[in-house]
Structure 1
Amino acid sequence: KKIVLFYGHNGTGKSTVARYLQDTTHNNYSHCSYVLPNAQDYQILVYNTDFVEKNFSQGSFEGVFTLGETNVTAEQAINTAKAEIEKLEKQRTQKQTLNGQHKEKETTQEKAIQAKCFETKHMHDKKDLDHCLIGFKGSTDAFYNEILKTDLIETPEYTFESLSAESKELNSKSATQKISIKNLVLDLASSESATILNEVIVGS
């Protein structure tokens, strides 16, 4: 077999010729052409850096290679997928950390609100309205949950003072009886003689 060797300084076009022979249909070589006698008898094979990059992949361990363009492409896809997985795992970890921090902050704020509410309750311990707190005045959580179940009144009709006065009056041993509402008398006998009650009503 005849062997033709190309010699030349760097930058004189050796790699360009090799790339052209490797892929004569590439747009970069649309104005190039070559002629071989009995071209059907030839199979052009080019071994250059492009061939190495496509067909050999350096593995994680030095000296271990993956051979074959298909295998190299698959390995590159796997590595890309692994990198994406690592990226997503990192994002998930960051979100979980932030979520935990938010929950911790929320819990801390809620505990502070509970403590403030319970502190306000102490102002009414063993006073005229103390009996209104029976059932949940000994527990911060129970008292706070009871507050959450209570509808908020923007403009209350009563003040602590007025409620306290009413509570004193209701619980006072010297309470006086209030005048009750007069009894209502309804004369049904006279109503039965009404003319309208003698009318016969028939459904249509």
Structure 2
Amino acid sequence: MVRVVAAVAVFVAIFALAAMWFVGRGGQGGDQFAQCRQTQIAGGTNTIGGPFELVHEDGQTVTDAEVLTAPSLIYFGYTYCPDVCPLDATRNAEATEILETNGELVTPVFITIDPERDTPEVLKEFTDYLHPRMVGLSGSPEQVKSASQAYRTYYRKQQPEDGDDEFYLVDHSTFTYLTLPGHGFVEYFRRDVSAEDMAQRVGCFVNNM
């Protein structure tokens, strides 16, 4: 009987240690960011993101490896957007400021889906107004399409009803994507996430790198 009790005690101890290890690893197959995630990605996070080559707002051609050197918040939009894009980009800039106050440097990145009008000069004026460290990226239609496909975003140019090709709108998805050096894409944020909530969630990922 004593041996049985001892064996049960050993089993319970081993089980408790295993449970503590599992919780410490995030409870999801060793995912170090499990406690930070609030979204699920069909196929896993490795299905979003990847290499791109675009034109920096300063005029030089750059790759993802040259731009995403710090935790980054990536948004696909366009500067002529009448409402959604300025609000989303401003929210991302505000979250960046909150994180910076907490000692966590994050790079906000704005990738245009309207390269026809969003030249590097136009993007630079737009991003500099929102945040001094916000990076604007443009490129050829092919380069922009490739980057958009890598992040599984959607955009489509609308034909203006009055026939004026200069003042068209662009339908597009509105997610913001968080990438981390050495990890790539790890999380996305919807439009209804506040700057404060975004900063808190991004901080969780940064602190668990």
TM-score by length of 2: 0.22
Q: Which has the higher contact order (CA 8 A, sep 6+)?
A: 2
User: Higher Cα Rg: structure 1 or 2?
Assistant: 1
TM-score by length of 1: 0.23
Bigger strand fraction? 2
Bigger helix fraction? 1
